[in-house]
Amino acid sequence: MSGGTSLKADDLIRSLKDQFSQFSDRRDPLRIEIPMEDFLISGFAMYSLKFPSLLNFETEMKDKRNFSNMKGLFGVERIPSDTRMREVVDEVETEELRPCFKKIFARAQRSNILANEFSIWSGHYLLSVDGTGYYSSDSICCEQCLVKKVRDSETEELYHHQMLCGAIVKPGNKNVIPVCPEAIQKQDGRTKNDCERNAMKRFLLKFREDHPKLKTILLTDALHATLPNLDILEIMGMNYILSVKPGSHETLFKGIEKWETLNQIRTVVKEDEIGDKVKKKRIREYRFTNQILLANADVKRAVNFLDFVETIQWVGKHGVLKEKRVHYSWVTDLSIFDSNCEEFARAGRTRWKIENETFNTLKNQGYEFEHNFGHGYKNLSVNMAHLMMLAFLVDQLQALGCSSFRRAFVRAHETISRLWEYIKSLHTFFPVQLKNWEMLYGVIFEPDEWIKVENLKRE
Ligand SMILES: [Zn+2]
């Protein structure tokens, strides 16, 4: 850690709680029994401690010890019932959660973690953005639900929620820094379903508002490599490396074919050997050109194109030659040369981190993204998804810049699910009140040492 700003859980959570205390509260002031920040921090705590459901969380919190730990770890004075929590969080305007992301992100900037661990190409940052679904039901719905017809049915409908999520990523870095997501949902006053492309527009505008000076290179799938999007990116001063596909970008690929016959496509081939037990040959072929049309609709809009094929060959059992191949194509506004085409392909491929390191982690590594934490009538489902993303952000920053977290992680054999188990079991069964996260991680890292010190204090 450097730069003087702490990325320790205790400080990050205090910062969040501060922000939560500034949320508007529409409840009758005379009937406020639990402050707003306790509702939000309790929701956050549920994800932070990886509880599988709101009810499970509430049941556990009825235990006196659990409750006193909540006070130490999250500064919660009173924990609301699950029913009350649903009611109150449902009424919170989702946009009020945005400054929380900004505030925590600013800490990552001030601590230098962002610059040291994520910057590429003289201070640029790769922002990978993609949509994901996290809820679907044929009966329970809210004002924000997207609706689709069930296949082969005239009357049945399916309600669902999707979210456009973005994270700062870097090749070779296992961690990511998520930014505020944008719900793909019915917009105010509209009856029509929202779509991922519209959500992307809102996402980019709000991202730029939150981070006006961040030198950003956007990474998306082929859905977003469109002329209107390139216009928006230009206005906002953002660079891009966007996936393209022959099926969705016909003009571009026809142009490439034509330029190929004219010898206008530059090809660079790199070969090396990989693998320990089984030696494998890796062939990487980069084909690129600068200033080609993305679509006929705008003859002024030229893009730079990079095509990348990686082939890995090895001799399998019984002497059979095996082969694995991946193929990607991108367009970018940055110029491509022999000297940087490899780096471009590496950066373009980092887009997958939003699926692998973000969605998969959220869905399969304790956060239970697809579980239903209560649906509500207005914003509950979307707000809970935001609180979950905040918990993920806080965890990621600790992994990047908190030495106590890292030591506890090593103790958990560098398996994140095991660390969550340790934390939850200590939270539930540890005989002494946990005063803060430092203490929690200390107990995980050196339990014997901790007991020795405590005994000395008592003597
Ligand atoms: Zn809904």
pLDDT at 2: 46
**Distances 420 to 47, 286, 413, 414 between C-alpha atoms, Å:** 11, 42, 12, 11
Contact between residue 422 and residue 412 where contact means Cβ atoms under 8 Å apart: yes
201 CA to centre of ligand 1 in angstroms: 22
Segments of 53-156 assigned E as strands: 125-137, 146-149
Domain boundaries, the chain: 9-214+352-401, 245-331
pLDDT at 52: 85
Contact between residue 120 and residue 347 where contact means Cβ atoms under 8 Å apart: yes
Q: How does pLDDT run along the chain (459 residues), one tens digit per residue?
A: 445 688 999 999 999 999 999 999 888 888 888 999 999 999 999 999 998 888 888 888 888 777 888 889 999 988 888 899 999 999 999 999 999 999 999 999 999 999 999 999 989 999 999 999 888 888 888 888 888 887 777 778 888 889 999 999 999 999 999 999 999 987 655 556 678 899 999 999 999 999 999 999 999 999 999 999 999 999 999 999 999 999 999 999 999 999 999 988 999 999 999 988 889 999 999 999 999 999 887 778 899 999 999 999 999 888 999 999 999 999 999 999 999 999 999 999 999 988 888 888 888 888 888 877 788 899 999 999 999 999 999 999 999 999 999 999 999 998 888 999 999 888 888 878 889 999 999 999 988 877 777 777 777
50 CA to centre of ligand 1 in angstroms: 22
Segments of 91-156 assigned E as strands: 125-137, 146-149
pLDDT at 29: 83
53 CA to centre of ligand 1 in angstroms: 17
pLDDT at 355: 86
Which residues crowd ion ligand 1, with CB under 5 Å? 142, 145, 381
146 CA to centre of ligand 1 in angstroms: 7
Contact between residue 166 and residue 129 where contact means Cβ atoms under 8 Å apart: yes
266 CA to centre of ligand 1 in angstroms: 50
pLDDT at 424: 86
129 CA to centre of ligand 1 in angstroms: 22
pLDDT at 30: 81
pLDDT at 242: 98
430 CA to centre of ligand 1 in angstroms: 38
Residue 422 corresponds to which tokens in the numbers above? 């340790």
186 CA to centre of ligand 1 in angstroms: 9
Q: Which residues contact 48 (CB under 8 A, 6 or more apart)?
A: 13, 74, 391, 394, 395
pLDDT in tens, 381-427: 999 999 999 999 999 999 999 999 999 999 999 888 899 999 988 88
13 CA to centre of ligand 1 in angstroms: 28
161 CA to centre of ligand 1 in angstroms: 6
144 CA to centre of ligand 1 in angstroms: 5
The pTM of the full predicted model, rounded to 2 decimals, is: 0.93
Q: Beta strand 266-274 with 280-293: parallel, antiparallel or unpaired?
A: antiparallel
195 CA to centre of ligand 1 in angstroms: 15
pLDDT at 189: 54
- What is the DSSP code string of 174-215? S--EE---EEE-PPTT--SPP-HHHHHHHHHHHHHHH-TT--
pLDDT at 187: 67
Could you give the CA distance from residue 151 to residue 153 in angstroms, rounded to a whole number? Answer: 5
